[in-house]
DNA sequence: TCCATATTTCTATAATTATCGAAATATGGA
DNA sequence: TCCATATTTCGATAATTATAGAAATATGGA
Protein backbone atom coordinates (compact mmCIF):
# COMPACT_ATOMS: atom_id res chain seq x y z
CA UNK A 1 0.00 0.00 0.00
CA UNK A 2 1.30 3.43 -0.88
CA UNK A 3 1.11 6.64 1.07
CA UNK A 4 -1.97 8.06 -0.63
CA UNK A 5 -4.05 4.92 -0.16
CA UNK A 6 -3.05 4.75 3.49
CA UNK A 7 -3.92 8.40 3.93
CA UNK A 8 -7.31 7.82 2.36
CA UNK A 9 -7.95 4.89 4.69
CA UNK A 10 -6.89 6.83 7.78
CA UNK A 11 -8.98 9.83 6.73
CA UNK A 12 -11.96 7.53 6.33
CA UNK A 13 -11.47 6.09 9.80
CA UNK A 14 -10.90 9.46 11.43
CA UNK A 15 -14.56 10.08 12.16
CA UNK A 16 -16.56 8.67 15.02
CA UNK A 17 -19.47 7.51 12.89
CA UNK A 18 -17.26 5.87 10.27
CA UNK A 19 -15.02 4.28 12.86
CA UNK A 20 -18.09 2.80 14.53
CA UNK A 21 -19.37 1.54 11.18
CA UNK A 22 -16.04 0.00 10.28
CA UNK A 23 -15.63 -1.77 13.59
CA UNK A 24 -19.16 -3.08 13.40
CA UNK A 25 -18.31 -4.52 10.00
CA UNK A 26 -14.95 -5.91 11.11
CA UNK A 27 -16.70 -7.71 13.93
CA UNK A 28 -19.44 -8.88 11.65
CA UNK A 29 -17.10 -10.68 9.26
CA UNK A 30 -17.06 -11.08 5.47
CA UNK A 31 -20.83 -11.20 4.99
CA UNK A 32 -21.32 -7.72 6.33
CA UNK A 33 -24.59 -5.97 7.12
CA UNK A 34 -27.28 -4.12 5.16
CA UNK A 35 -27.03 -0.32 5.31
CA UNK A 36 -30.37 -0.04 7.04
CA UNK A 37 -29.32 -2.14 9.98
CA UNK A 38 -26.11 -0.20 10.44
CA UNK A 39 -28.07 3.03 10.44
CA UNK A 40 -30.66 1.73 12.90
CA UNK A 41 -27.96 0.45 15.20
CA UNK A 42 -25.90 3.63 15.18
CA UNK A 43 -28.90 5.99 14.88
CA UNK A 44 -27.67 7.99 11.91
CA UNK A 45 -29.96 9.50 9.29
CA UNK A 46 -30.04 7.56 6.02
CA UNK A 47 -28.45 10.34 3.99
CA UNK A 48 -25.66 10.78 6.50
CA UNK A 49 -25.04 7.04 6.64
CA UNK A 50 -24.89 6.83 2.89
CA UNK A 51 -22.33 9.62 2.82
CA UNK A 52 -20.11 7.82 5.33
CA UNK A 53 -20.43 4.43 3.68
CA UNK A 54 -19.35 5.99 0.45
CA UNK A 55 -16.31 7.50 2.12
CA UNK A 56 -15.32 4.13 3.53
CA UNK A 57 -15.83 2.54 0.14
CA UNK A 58 -13.81 5.22 -1.61
CA UNK A 59 -10.98 4.42 0.77
CA UNK A 60 -11.28 0.73 -0.07
CA UNK A 61 -12.06 -0.23 3.51
CA UNK A 62 -15.50 -1.65 2.75
CA UNK A 63 -17.24 -2.99 -0.31
CA UNK A 64 -20.90 -3.09 -1.20
CA UNK A 65 -23.01 -5.86 -2.66
CA UNK A 66 -26.69 -5.69 -3.48
CA UNK A 67 -29.02 -8.42 -2.27
CA UNK A 68 -32.60 -7.69 -3.24
CA UNK A 69 -33.50 -4.21 -2.10
CA UNK A 70 -30.82 -4.10 0.53
CA UNK A 71 -27.19 -3.24 0.03
CA UNK A 72 -24.78 -5.18 2.21
CA UNK A 73 -21.58 -3.54 3.29
CA UNK A 74 -18.64 -5.60 4.46
CA UNK A 75 -15.16 -4.77 5.72
CA UNK A 76 -12.30 -5.31 3.31
CA UNK A 77 -9.89 -7.27 5.45
CA UNK A 78 -7.06 -7.24 2.93
CA UNK A 79 -7.17 -3.45 2.85
CA UNK A 80 -7.23 -3.33 6.62
CA UNK A 81 -4.14 -5.51 6.79
CA UNK A 82 -2.50 -3.32 4.17
CA UNK A 83 -3.07 -0.27 6.32
CA UNK A 84 -1.69 -1.86 9.47
CA UNK A 85 1.32 -3.11 7.56
CA UNK A 86 1.93 0.35 6.15
CA UNK A 87 1.98 1.91 9.60
CA UNK A 88 4.53 -0.49 11.05
CA UNK A 89 6.64 -0.75 7.92
CA UNK A 90 10.40 -0.32 8.25
CA UNK A 91 10.00 0.15 11.96
CA UNK A 92 13.15 1.24 13.77
CA UNK A 93 15.15 1.46 10.60
CA UNK A 94 15.06 -2.26 10.05
CA UNK A 95 15.96 -3.20 13.61
CA UNK A 96 12.53 -3.95 15.09
CA UNK A 97 14.09 -5.65 18.10
CA UNK A 98 14.72 -2.11 19.38
CA UNK A 99 11.07 -1.24 19.85
CA UNK A 100 9.83 -4.78 20.46
CA UNK A 101 10.40 -4.97 24.22
CA UNK A 102 8.24 -1.91 24.94
CA UNK A 103 5.71 -2.16 27.80
CA UNK A 104 1.92 -2.27 27.52
CA UNK A 105 2.27 -4.78 24.75
CA UNK A 106 -0.98 -6.54 24.05
CA UNK A 107 0.74 -9.52 22.55
CA UNK A 108 -2.01 -12.10 22.68
CA UNK A 109 -2.95 -14.79 20.25
CA UNK A 110 -2.35 -13.29 16.80
CA UNK A 111 -5.69 -14.72 15.90
CA UNK A 112 -7.20 -12.31 13.42
CA UNK A 113 -5.91 -10.64 10.31
CA UNK A 114 -2.46 -10.05 11.77
CA UNK A 115 -0.84 -7.16 9.91
CA UNK A 116 2.76 -8.34 10.33
CA UNK A 117 5.09 -5.63 9.08
CA UNK A 118 7.15 -6.75 6.14
CA UNK A 119 10.33 -4.80 6.86
CA UNK A 120 12.30 -3.63 3.86
CA UNK A 121 15.27 -2.09 5.65
CA UNK A 122 15.66 1.61 4.99
CA UNK A 123 18.18 2.68 7.63
CA UNK A 124 17.91 6.43 8.30
CA UNK A 125 20.90 8.47 9.31
CA UNK A 126 21.47 8.75 13.06
CA UNK A 127 20.93 12.45 13.50
CA UNK A 128 20.86 12.72 17.29
CA UNK B 1 -7.53 1.42 24.15
CA UNK B 2 -11.01 2.91 24.05
CA UNK B 3 -12.92 4.38 21.17
CA UNK B 4 -12.10 8.01 21.88
CA UNK B 5 -8.35 7.42 22.13
CA UNK B 6 -8.39 5.41 18.90
CA UNK B 7 -10.37 8.16 17.19
CA UNK B 8 -7.86 10.74 18.37
CA UNK B 9 -4.99 8.65 17.03
CA UNK B 10 -6.67 8.10 13.67
CA UNK B 11 -7.55 11.78 13.40
CA UNK B 12 -3.94 12.64 14.10
CA UNK B 13 -2.74 10.28 11.37
CA UNK B 14 -5.32 11.43 8.83
CA UNK B 15 -3.19 14.22 7.42
CA UNK B 16 -0.38 13.88 4.92
CA UNK B 17 2.12 15.92 6.87
CA UNK B 18 1.41 14.17 10.16
CA UNK B 19 1.42 10.75 8.56
CA UNK B 20 4.81 11.51 7.03
CA UNK B 21 6.10 12.73 10.39
CA UNK B 22 4.82 9.67 12.20
CA UNK B 23 6.30 7.24 9.74
CA UNK B 24 9.61 9.04 9.84
CA UNK B 25 9.58 8.62 13.62
CA UNK B 26 8.46 4.98 13.49
CA UNK B 27 11.35 4.25 11.17
CA UNK B 28 13.74 6.23 13.32
CA UNK B 29 13.08 4.19 16.46
CA UNK B 30 12.80 5.14 20.16
CA UNK B 31 15.39 7.93 20.10
CA UNK B 32 13.40 10.01 17.65
CA UNK B 33 14.47 13.17 15.88
CA UNK B 34 14.68 16.88 16.75
CA UNK B 35 11.79 18.98 15.42
CA UNK B 36 14.09 21.00 13.22
CA UNK B 37 15.33 18.02 11.31
CA UNK B 38 11.83 16.75 10.70
CA UNK B 39 10.82 20.14 9.38
CA UNK B 40 13.87 20.43 7.13
CA UNK B 41 13.31 16.95 5.77
CA UNK B 42 9.61 17.45 5.06
CA UNK B 43 9.87 21.13 4.15
CA UNK B 44 7.18 22.46 6.45
CA UNK B 45 7.28 25.86 8.10
CA UNK B 46 8.27 25.79 11.75
CA UNK B 47 4.89 26.99 12.99
CA UNK B 48 3.06 24.43 10.89
CA UNK B 49 5.32 21.65 12.07
CA UNK B 50 4.84 22.61 15.67
CA UNK B 51 1.09 22.50 15.19
CA UNK B 52 1.24 19.00 13.76
CA UNK B 53 3.67 17.67 16.34
CA UNK B 54 1.34 18.91 19.03
CA UNK B 55 -1.57 17.09 17.41
CA UNK B 56 0.39 13.86 17.31
CA UNK B 57 1.41 14.35 20.92
CA UNK B 58 -2.15 15.09 21.99
CA UNK B 59 -3.15 11.79 20.42
CA UNK B 60 -0.42 10.00 22.36
CA UNK B 61 1.33 8.84 19.20
CA UNK B 62 4.56 10.67 19.87
CA UNK B 63 6.28 12.10 22.92
CA UNK B 64 8.70 14.96 23.26
CA UNK B 65 11.91 15.24 25.21
CA UNK B 66 14.15 18.24 25.40
CA UNK B 67 17.88 17.87 24.84
CA UNK B 68 19.63 21.19 25.00
CA UNK B 69 17.91 23.62 22.69
CA UNK B 70 16.39 20.92 20.56
CA UNK B 71 13.24 18.99 21.27
CA UNK B 72 13.33 15.39 20.18
CA UNK B 73 10.13 13.73 19.11
CA UNK B 74 9.79 9.97 19.08
CA UNK B 75 7.00 7.59 18.14
CA UNK B 76 5.12 5.96 20.99
CA UNK B 77 5.19 2.32 19.97
CA UNK B 78 2.89 1.12 22.71
CA UNK B 79 0.23 3.55 21.56
CA UNK B 80 0.73 2.46 17.97
CA UNK B 81 0.23 -1.17 18.94
CA UNK B 82 -2.83 -0.16 20.94
CA UNK B 83 -4.35 1.44 17.88
CA UNK B 84 -3.68 -1.54 15.62
CA UNK B 85 -5.11 -3.85 18.24
CA UNK B 86 -8.21 -1.71 18.55
CA UNK B 87 -8.87 -1.88 14.82
CA UNK B 88 -8.67 -5.67 14.59
CA UNK B 89 -10.38 -6.33 17.91
CA UNK B 90 -13.19 -8.88 18.00
CA UNK B 91 -12.73 -9.49 14.32
CA UNK B 92 -15.38 -11.70 12.72
CA UNK B 93 -17.35 -11.97 15.93
CA UNK B 94 -14.67 -14.02 17.60
CA UNK B 95 -14.11 -16.39 14.69
CA UNK B 96 -11.06 -14.85 13.05
CA UNK B 97 -10.45 -17.99 11.01
CA UNK B 98 -13.23 -16.67 8.77
CA UNK B 99 -11.33 -13.66 7.51
CA UNK B 100 -7.87 -15.12 7.88
CA UNK B 101 -7.63 -16.86 4.50
CA UNK B 102 -8.27 -13.68 2.53
CA UNK B 103 -6.04 -12.94 -0.47
CA UNK B 104 -3.39 -10.24 -0.72
CA UNK B 105 -2.19 -11.13 2.71
CA UNK B 106 1.16 -9.62 3.47
CA UNK B 107 2.00 -12.25 6.06
CA UNK B 108 5.74 -11.86 6.39
CA UNK B 109 7.97 -12.01 9.41
CA UNK B 110 6.01 -10.44 12.26
CA UNK B 111 9.16 -8.63 13.08
CA UNK B 112 8.12 -5.28 14.43
CA UNK B 113 5.60 -4.18 16.99
CA UNK B 114 3.03 -6.76 15.88
CA UNK B 115 -0.41 -5.57 16.98
CA UNK B 116 -1.93 -9.02 17.43
CA UNK B 117 -5.66 -8.62 18.05
CA UNK B 118 -6.73 -9.83 21.49
CA UNK B 119 -10.17 -11.17 20.65
CA UNK B 120 -12.80 -10.90 23.35
CA UNK B 121 -15.64 -12.68 21.61
CA UNK B 122 -18.72 -10.51 21.05
CA UNK B 123 -20.81 -12.46 18.55
CA UNK B 124 -23.23 -10.21 16.69
CA UNK B 125 -26.58 -11.47 15.53
CA UNK B 126 -26.62 -12.84 11.99
CA UNK B 127 -28.88 -10.34 10.33
CA UNK B 128 -28.52 -11.35 6.70
C1' DT C 1 -48.84 -0.97 -13.45
C1' DC C 2 -48.84 0.71 -8.80
C1' DC C 3 -47.12 0.72 -4.23
C1' DA C 4 -43.88 0.06 -0.33
C1' DT C 5 -39.20 -0.48 1.04
C1' DA C 6 -34.16 0.51 0.77
C1' DT C 7 -30.77 3.50 -0.37
C1' DT C 8 -28.66 7.35 -2.80
C1' DT C 9 -28.04 12.08 -4.72
C1' DC C 10 -28.72 16.96 -4.34
C1' DT C 11 -28.22 21.16 -1.90
C1' DA C 12 -27.43 24.27 1.60
C1' DT C 13 -25.60 25.21 6.10
C1' DA C 14 -22.67 24.53 10.05
C1' DA C 15 -18.44 23.17 12.03
C1' DT C 16 -13.70 21.94 12.03
C1' DT C 17 -8.94 22.08 10.46
C1' DA C 18 -4.62 23.64 8.08
C1' DT C 19 -1.52 27.29 6.97
C1' DC C 20 2.07 30.48 8.04
C1' DG C 21 3.89 35.32 9.28
C1' DA C 22 5.08 37.62 13.29
C1' DA C 23 5.94 37.82 17.98
C1' DA C 24 7.07 35.27 22.16
C1' DT C 25 9.65 31.82 24.97
C1' DA C 26 13.53 28.76 26.27
C1' DT C 27 18.32 27.35 26.12
C1' DG C 28 23.31 27.65 25.82
C1' DG C 29 27.41 30.09 24.99
C1' DA C 30 30.49 34.27 24.88
C1' DT D 1 24.14 40.28 30.19
C1' DC D 2 23.68 39.89 25.27
C1' DC D 3 23.17 37.22 21.23
C1' DA D 4 22.06 33.25 18.27
C1' DT D 5 19.52 29.07 17.81
C1' DA D 6 15.36 26.11 18.40
C1' DT D 7 10.74 25.86 18.99
C1' DT D 8 6.16 27.47 20.29
C1' DT D 9 2.05 30.55 20.61
C1' DC D 10 -0.97 33.94 18.53
C1' DG D 11 -4.07 35.41 15.11
C1' DA D 12 -6.20 35.77 10.86
C1' DT D 13 -7.46 33.46 6.54
C1' DA D 14 -8.37 29.62 3.50
C1' DA D 15 -9.96 25.08 2.72
C1' DT D 16 -12.29 20.90 3.85
C1' DT D 17 -15.84 18.04 5.91
C1' DA D 18 -20.26 16.69 8.27
C1' DT D 19 -25.14 17.08 8.57
C1' DA D 20 -29.80 16.10 7.23
C1' DG D 21 -34.24 17.40 4.61
C1' DA D 22 -36.18 16.66 0.30
C1' DA D 23 -36.28 14.60 -4.03
C1' DA D 24 -34.63 10.86 -6.95
C1' DT D 25 -33.51 5.99 -8.08
C1' DA D 26 -33.75 0.89 -7.71
C1' DT D 27 -35.98 -3.39 -6.40
C1' DG D 28 -39.63 -6.69 -5.48
C1' DG D 29 -44.25 -7.88 -4.90
C1' DA D 30 -49.41 -7.55 -5.61
> Which of B78, B80, B76, B90 lies closest to B123 in space, CA to CA?
B90
Task: Output B112 or A65, whichever has higher pLDDT.
Answer: A65
Note the pLDDT of residue B93.
85
| pLDDT for residue B10 is more than 70 | yes
Q: Look at residue A84 and tell me whether its pLDDT is greater than 60.
A: yes
The yes-or-no verdict on residue A108 having pLDDT over 90 is: no
Give dist(CA A104, CA B121) in Å, integer: 21
Helical H segments across B59-113, by residue range: 77-88
Say if residue B9's pLDDT is above 60: yes
The pLDDT tens digits of the residues spanning B80-91 come to 999 999 998 888
B31 close contact with A: CB closer than 8 A = yes
Set of chain A residues whose Cβ sits within 8 Å of the Cβ of B34? 127-128
Does strand C come within 7 Å of the CB of A35? yes
* CA A122 to C1' D4, whole Å: 35
Nearest to A24 by CA among A65, A60, A75: A75
Report how far residue B119's alpha carbon sits from residue B93's, in angstroms, rounded to the nearest whole number: 9
Question: What are A41-68's pLDDT values in tens digits?
Answer: 999 999 999 999 999 999 999 999 999 9
pLDDT over threshold 60, residue B112: no
For residue B63, the cross-strand partners are B74
> Where residue B5 falls among pLDDT bands split at 50, 70, 90?
very high
- Indicate the Cα dihedral angle B17, B18, B21, B22, nearest 10°: -150
CA distances for A103 relative to A99, B21, B27, B64, B107, angstroms: 10, 23, 19, 18, 24
**Is pLDDT at A119 greater than 50 in this prediction?**
no
Q: Are B124 and A28 in contact (CB under 8 A)?
A: yes
Lowest-pLDDT choice from B5-9, B59-63, B120-124: B120-124
- Predicted confidence at residue B126, as pLDDT, reads 33
The SS3 assignment for A91 reads helix
Q: How does the average pLDDT of chain A come out, rounded? A: 81
Interface test with A, best of B1, B3, B84 (most A CBs within 10 A): B84
What SS3 state is found at B99? coil
Say yes or no to pLDDT of B43 above 50.
yes
DSSP B71: E
Average pLDDT (B12-22) is 97
What span, in angstroms and rounded, lies between the C-alpha atoms of A59 and A55?
A: 6
Shortest CA distance from A104: residue in chain B? B78
A18 pLDDT higher than 80: yes
Residue nearest to nucleotide D23 (CA to C1'): A47
- For the residues B95-119, what does the mean pLDDT come to? 42
pLDDT of A97 above 60: yes
B37 in contact with A at a CB cutoff of 8 Å? Answer: yes
> Is-contact B78 B60, C-beta < 8 A?
no
Nucleotides of D under 7 A from a protein CB: 4-11, 17-23, 26-28
Cα A67 from Cα A28, distance rounded (Å)? 17
What domains sit in chain A, N to C, each tagged with a CATH number? 3-78 (1.10.10.10)
Q: What is the value of pTM for the model shown?
A: 0.83
Is pLDDT at A109 greater than 50 in this prediction? Answer: no
Q: What percent of chain A has pLDDT over 90?
A: 66
What are the residues whose beta carbons fall under 8 Å from the beta carbon of B69, sequence distance 6 or more?
Answer: none
Q: Which has the closest alpha carbon to B11: B49, B50, B52?
A: B52
Do residues B42 and B35 make contact, with C-beta atoms less than 8 angstroms apart?
A: no
Span CA (B15) to C1' (D15), Å: 14
Amino acid sequence: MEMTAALAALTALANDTRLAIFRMLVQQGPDGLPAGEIGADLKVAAATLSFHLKELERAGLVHARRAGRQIFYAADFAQMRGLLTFLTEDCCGGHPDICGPLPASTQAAADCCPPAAKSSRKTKKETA
